[in-house]
Amino acid sequence: MNGALLSVKDLSVVFPERGKRFFRHGDCVRALESVSFELARGETLSVVGESGSGKTTLLRSLLGLIPPTGGSVELYGRSFQSMTDLERVRARRGCGYVLQDPYGALPPTLTVTGAVTEPWNIVRGHSGREAGIAKARELLDELKLPESLWGERARYSLSGGQRQRVAVARALILDPELLLCDEPTAMQDVSTRAEVLEVLNRRVRAGMSMVLVTHDLLLARRAAKRAIVLHKGRIIESGDTATLLERPSHSYTKALLAALPRLQPL
Ligand SMILES: Nc1ncnc2c1ncn2[C@@H]1O[C@H](COP(=O)(O)OP(=O)(O)O)[C@@H](O)[C@H]1O
Ligand SMILES: [Mg+2]
């Protein structure tokens, strides 16, 4: 074990083209190619790239939800493939995952409070139910979700941005050591975007590690000191986020910067 929380070596993921179950010559998508990086405990990494660059595939691979076609992902020095089912469940329990659009991940029958407390009840059992509800309320309050919505059905009665904040609360309720966030502020309006990021950064200051996926370089810098830039599944640039913003060396990174609105009020 090398002390890294997360160690990704030469990771490649190849999908059959959508709608096709088998590979035929040329019918594949190379979603990730030879991706390598490490994440230490307490560290945050931003993953930046345009749509289709492989960001979501990378997050899902980090949780072992997509098996690598080549290379390896190790969490706490172990690959998911080498774990028993129980070990895999335990390893994932230490990780929170905020999906890009959590619509399908929020159970249809549960209220907002119910959706946030569900992971707590599964892990801690119903004996700690009251404590779970109290913690859920604290989180929803911190994430500025109006109390009038807490009893609404999480999946159907909320806007995309509100749903995402419920998903953030649900991912944080078990105090994860590692949080994986897929464009967590993409659906937020300007006023809530900074607040969500502040909630995440507060957890990082308290020791949580985070991988934050975004196509927004400014957000990447506000969340992390270090970033990798993905283009067609490859890391084309990596390093200090401030340097990437001020002196991007790759034309693709420059194009990502140019695509940002001039005065982003975050
Ligand atoms: N399950 C899948 N089957 C086939 N192709 C996929 C699948 N998931 C993702 N892809 C393809 O892999 C590439 C990377 O996708 P994705 O990781 O979702 O990118 P991003 O999150 O950066 O937008 C895209 O070309 C996408 O169409
Ligand atoms: Mg994505």
pLDDT digits (tens, 9 = 90+) for 81-109: 999 999 999 999 999 999 988 888 898 99
- For tokens 């649900």, the residue is 170
Give residue 127 CA to ligand 2 midpoint distance, Å: 37
Q: What is the mean pLDDT of residues 222-241?
A: 95
d(CA 164, CA 158) in angstroms, rounded, equals 9
pLDDT at site 246: 85
Which residue CA neighbors atom 8 of ligand 1 most closely?
57
Which residue CA neighbors atom 4 of ligand 1 most closely?
18
Structure tokens belonging to residue 121: 């009840």
Residue 22 pLDDT > 70, yes or no? no
Q: In what order do the strands lie in the sheet with 6-16?
A: 28-39, 6-16, 70-75, 78-79
Q: What is the pLDDT of residues 109-150, one digit of tens each?
A: 999 999 999 999 999 887 789 999 999 999 999 999 999 999
d(CA 231, CA 31) in angstroms, rounded, equals 10
Give residue 213 CA to ligand 1 midpoint distance, Å: 14
> Relative to the alpha carbon of 50, which ligand is closest?
1
Which residue CA neighbors atom 26 of ligand 1 most closely?
52
pLDDT at site 253: 87
Q: How many CB atoms lie within 10 A of CB 10?
A: 13
Q: In what order do the strands lie in the sheet with 209-214?
A: 95-98, 178-182, 209-214, 44-48, 226-231, 234-240
Contact predicate 183/100, CB 8 Å: yes
Q: Collect contacts of 122-127 with beta carbons under 8 A, ≥24 apart.
A: 123/93, 123/174
Q: What is the pLDDT of residues 210-230, one digit of tens each?
A: 999 998 888 899 999 999 999
Residue type, 77: G
E strand residue ranges, the chain = 6-16, 28-39, 44-48, 70-75, 78-79, 95-98, 178-182, 209-214, 226-231, 234-240
pLDDT at site 127: 79
pLDDT at site 24: 61
Give residue 182 CA to ligand 2 midpoint distance, Å: 7
> Relative to the alpha carbon of 183, which ligand is closest?
2
Residue 65 pLDDT > 70, yes or no? yes
Show Cβ contacts of residue 251 under 8 Å, excluding neighbours closer than 6 positions.
none
pLDDT at site 239: 94
Which residue CA neighbors atom 17 of ligand 1 most closely?
54
Residue 2 pLDDT > 70, yes or no? no
pLDDT at site 194: 87
Residues with a CB atom less than 6 Å from ligand 1: 15, 18, 29, 31, 49, 51-57
Residue 261 pLDDT > 70, yes or no? no
Give residue 53 CA to ligand 1 midpoint distance, Å: 8
Give residue 14 CA to ligand 1 midpoint distance, Å: 10
Which residue CA neighbors atom 14 of ligand 1 most closely?
54
Q: What is the pLDDT of residues 165-216, one digit of tens each?
A: 999 999 999 999 999 999 988 888 877 888 999 999 999 999 999 999 998 8
Give residue 100 CA to ligand 1 midpoint distance, Å: 13
pLDDT at site 1: 44
Confidence of residue 264 (pLDDT cuts 50, 70, 90): low
Ligand 1 pocket test: pick from 57, 63, 234 the residue with the most ligand atoms within 8 Å of its Cβ: 57
